[in-house]
Amino acid sequence: MALAELVLERRLFRLEIAPDYILDLRAQALIQELSIAGAPACFLDRSVARAVAGFLRATTLAQGLLVPSVAFLDDPLRFLLVCFLEKLPTESERWIRSVTVDGNFRLTRQPPD
């Protein structure tokens, strides 16, 4: 196997986006309104996280959710944006403001034994 076949290189892009409707699951007022017990730690349970996201996706205008990072549950400044792509306009220029190349990363796979 050639060495080049073991190396996967990918380009990273930085997107500035502006969806119209985002719900912030770091906000205590929203957590209380939804009667979610044990947040944010309860989101470590995949079934809870999926149930909450599925409910909000199906019953609100939300195009995405700001969710706490599971790696930094104690730091609300560390978060992820989950986008519901089917709820965003099909004309991407309406919600993607800019795209810039942000670098590359390289993964090296182990050769098969």
- Asked if the structure places residue 44 within a domain, the reply is yes
Print the domain residue range for 72. Answer: 15-99
- Asked if the structure places residue 65 within a domain, the reply is yes
Over 80: is that where the pLDDT of 44 sits?
Answer: yes
- Asked if the structure places residue 64 within a domain, the reply is yes
- Asked if the structure places residue 22 within a domain, the reply is yes
- Asked if the structure places residue 5 within a domain, the reply is no
User: Tell me: the pLDDT tens digits for 53-87?
Assistant: 999 999 999 999 999 998 998 898 999 999 999 99
Cα dihedral: 31, 37, 39, 41 (round 10): -160
- Asked if the structure places residue 84 within a domain, the reply is yes
pTM: 0.78
Contacts (Cβ under 8 Å, ≥6 apart) of 55: none
- Asked if the structure places residue 80 within a domain, the reply is yes
Which pLDDT does position 71 carry in this prediction? 92
Which pLDDT does position 73 carry in this prediction? 87
Task: Mark out the alpha helices in the chain (DSSP H runs).
Answer: 28-33, 46-59
Count the domains in the chain. Answer: 1
